[in-house]
Amino acid sequence: MQIVTDHTQNYGGRFKYLTFLNLLIQLMYFIIAPMADVLTLLKGREDNWLVKLRDLMFASLTFPICVFVASSFWGIYMIDRELIFPQALDKIFPPWLNHLLHTWCAVVIIVEGAFIKHKYPRNHVGLGLLAAFCATYLMWITWIAYVAEFWVYPFLRVMPNSGRIAFFTVAACVVAFFYFLGKWKTMFIWGGEKQEKTTANTNPKNGVKKKVKKAE
């Protein structure tokens, strides 16, 4: 399989690759996260807009996209590396850089989620933002295929249209699964929303009982 010629590959630049967009998401997140910590220390409480933005970004984009990039890349790589990372690219990307882009990014975000508590948004908000990003990226690479007459990833070039539709459908389900995986992991490590709701529901009852005793 041949690598796309330079003049064609220039269309869209690096922004046509999900790996590069993932790096931008990671960069934005790890800029916002320490800023949120500093603001928390200054205000003395975690209820501030930067913490909410950090948690929303982690839940909706950072965790699911990063884990999807790593798992999909290595999954296709093990089937046939020529379909995702042709051997000719080894001269440009050394193994350590490949692992930095497609392995350690996922490891770092998984470990970060285990040590930092994140409050997940409502599912329609988190999944809505994730779906908007995925739909935008799908339209972007489809536009590139239409204008520049080539698909960004080699495995898409060898698929019929029905195969591409099937792949995009499965990919969407996998990304949604990773969203819930991050949520379940957070609930398992830090305790879930059910505990908070239970506590909130029991406190008012206790308060009513105390008032009744005082009245008696």
User: So what's the pLDDT on residue 70?
Assistant: 96
Q: How far is CA 146 from CA 8, 11, 105, 149, in A?
A: 12, 12, 31, 5
The confidence band for 9, taking pLDDT boundaries of 50, 70 and 90, is: low
Q: DSSP character for 134?
A: H
Q: What is the pTM of this model?
A: 0.83
117 CB neighbour count, 10 Å cutoff: 12
User: So what's the pLDDT on residue 161?
Assistant: 93
pLDDT digits (tens, 9 = 90+) for 172-196: 999 999 999 999 999 999 886 543 4
Residue 81: its H or E element: none
pLDDT, mean over the chain: 86
pLDDT digits (tens, 9 = 90+) for 36-95: 999 999 888 778 899 999 999 999 999 999 999 999 999 999 999 999 998 988 888 899
